[in-house]
Amino acid sequence: MKPDHLTNHRILPDGSVAFVTRPRVSVTCPCCWTDQRSYRNACYHCGRAFLYLDEQLTTRIDLQKLDKEIR
Ligand SMILES: [Zn+2]
């Protein structure tokens, strides 16, 4: 079974990756499949920014709202 953060993420138009929440230990980049510590806010391999939606306190975005913006 894939980790939750790999089934629940979106690639934003600017190329950054939005996850619902920050995984506890490690995060796998959905673009290059590099495993890395989850304190990172960008992939050390391909450089994509990682956004964790539950930490975006000022904007309050969720996946459904993101889907509308991406389409
Ligand atoms: Zn990557």
Phi, psi of 50 (to 5 degrees): -105, 125
Dihedral sign computed on CA atoms, order 32, 36, 6, 62 = negative
Annotated domain spans of the chain: 4-70
Task: For residue 45, report the distance from its CA to the centre of ligand 1, in Å.
Answer: 5
pLDDT band at 51 (very low <50, low <70, confident <90, very high): very high
**pTM for this model (two decimals):** 0.77
Reported as a single tens digit per residue, the pLDDT across 8-20 is 899 999 999 999 9
pLDDT, residue 24, reads 92
Task: For residue 44, report the distance from its CA to the centre of ligand 1, in Å.
Answer: 7
- Please, are residues 43 and 50 in contact by the beta-carbon 8 Å criterion? yes
Mean of pLDDT values over 6-32: 92
Task: For residue 49, report the distance from its CA to the centre of ligand 1, in Å.
Answer: 9
